[in-house]
Amino acid sequence: WNDRRVVQHLGITADQQKRMEMLFQQDRLHLIDLIAALDKENAILEPLLQADRPDEPRVLAQIDRIAQARAELEKANARFLLGIRAILTPEQWRKLEAEKPRPPIDRQPPPPHF
């Protein structure tokens, strides 16, 4: 909504831009907190993995906390996108979706990040 080319291509109105900015500002602090929580959980995992003999139950429990933090962040992002979608017209949404790059079908899953 802040990219002039996208605004023009989708035909986003000034009112829609204002509503999207308000939605972003409402969600912004919550998203910052969720990102920080995920970063914190990842930081806790690092020394657990660097031990000569990692304590498997503690490592697995921490991985669960990371997965939960990541899930909370993903849910917040999804809620934000649903809010944006509600502001756009169906035609604007279809145009936006058509512009989104699609991953190749035979793409391998990313390796685990430790």
**Which residue type occupies 42?**
N
43-83 pLDDT, tens digit each: 999 999 999 999 999 999 999 999 999 999 999 999 999 99
Q: What is the pTM of this model?
A: 0.74
Q: What tokens does 92 get?
A: 């604007």
pLDDT at 113 over 60: yes
3-state secondary structure of 112: coil
Rounded Cα distance, 73 and 102, in Å: 22
Output the six-digit token pair for 93.
Answer: 């949404």
- Can you give the pLDDT at residue 49? 96
Q: How distant is the alpha carbon of residue 57 from its chain centre?
A: 28
DSSP alpha helix (H) spans, the chain: 4-10, 14-50, 56-87, 90-99
Could you tell me which residue, 21 or 107, shows the higher pLDDT? Answer: 21
Across the range 82-108, mean pLDDT stands at 84
Q: Label residues 58-80 b or e (16+ Cβ within 10 Å = b).
A: eeeebbebbeebeeebeebeeeb
